[in-house]
Amino acid sequence: MATPQYTSNNNSKPMISGLAVQQGLYAESSTPEHSIGEKIELNDGRVFRYVYTAAACAAGNVVSQDVSATCVVEVDGKATAAAVGATSVILTDSGTLGSATADQYKGAYLIITDDAGEGLQYRIKSNTAASTNAVTFTLYDPLIVAVTTDSDAAITGGLWWNVRPATAGTDYIMSGVTVIAMTANYYGWVQTAGICSVLSDTAIAIGDNLTLSDGVAGAVQLKDAETEPLFGFAAFAPDDTGHVQAVIQGLVA
């Protein structure tokens, strides 16, 4: 089956296989027109995903989920026991969950990191606001192994919810590159595969391996350490502080 081609119609909306997509690639919206993470793939190899922004982003910014708002570092022995088949898990921890708001972790992933149920991952459908430091997480799928009070857990946010300009060491889970400048708390598209335009930091030569910048939010730089998240490689040598065309390699398409 051929990959759909992107064109435009008189309403400035993309056409995929002759059907108008609700929101064009070069548009943003204060209300959702697609599901978060919805995918458009073009026949030139470019892929786009639908996102919600947590902060304003310039065009050509590498974005990441807001780690402080969507992730929970491993908590040990904070779960309430839940049987096989249960569709919710309760975690109680003042240090990480005491100020959680309703659906803050919607679309994120609950991972059982150790003890009963370890190694299993469940996607979060919704969550309650914290009540006496306890948060109930409703899951898309039922537990296949019981969770006990000894079970350790962590949460990683969904890649395309609450995105902001990526920063090394803080918001570093790269999820795409903005197609246009985007307003905080708006919906739109980011590119996740193919040739893109992205903000550059430092001198870059054609063919250089690029990683997330450790100095400029939303930018890429010449790879200078194995610990840096891989982005892709440069398609030409740009100005030191301008934008570069790059082939994306390190992102989830």
Domain match, 143 and 188 both: no
Q: Which tokens belong to 171?
A: 């918001």
* Summary mean pLDDT of the chain: 91
End-of-domain residue from the set 156, 190, 212: 156
Domain match, 166 and 242 both: yes
Domain match, 29 and 80 both: no
Q: Give residue 4's pLDDT.
A: 43
Residue recorded with tokens 């740009």: 238
Residue 46 lies in a domain: yes
Q: Which helix H or strand E contains 69, and what residues bound it?
A: helix 67-70
253/6: higher pLDDT: 253
Among residues 221, 194, 197, the alpha carbon closest in space to that of 209 is found at: 221
- Quote the CA–CA distance of 220 and 230 in Å, as a whole number: 9
End-of-domain residue from the set 105, 133, 156: 156
- Indicate the number of domains in the chain: 2
Q: Give residue 91's pLDDT.
A: 97
The domain that contains 102 carries what CATH number?
2.40.30
pLDDT higher than 80, residue 140 = yes
Q: Give residue 14's pLDDT.
A: 56
- Quote the CA–CA distance of 140 and 106 in Å, as a whole number: 10
pTM, two decimal places: 0.87
With H, G, I as helix, E, B as strand and everything else as coil, classify residue 171: coil
Q: pLDDT tens across 191-215, in order?
A: 999 999 999 998 899 999 999 999 9
Phi, psi of 190 (to 5 degrees): -125, 150
pLDDT higher than 90, residue 153 = yes
Domain match, 171 and 53 both: yes
- Quote the CA–CA distance of 32 and 186 in Å, as a whole number: 8
Asked if 200 and 220 touch (Cβ cutoff 8 Å), the reply is yes
Residue 1 lies in a domain: no
Q: pLDDT tens across 61-118, in order?
A: 999 999 999 999 999 999 999 999 999 999 999 988 999 999 999 999 999 999 999 9
Among residues 162, 9, 151, the alpha carbon closest in space to that of 71 is found at: 162
Domain match, 136 and 192 both: no
Asked if 114 and 63 touch (Cβ cutoff 8 Å), the reply is no
Q: Is 132 left (phi over 0), alpha (psi -120 to 50) or beta?
A: left
Residue 253 lies in a domain: no
End-of-domain residue from the set 156, 186, 215: 156
- Quote the CA–CA distance of 222 and 138 in Å, as a whole number: 42
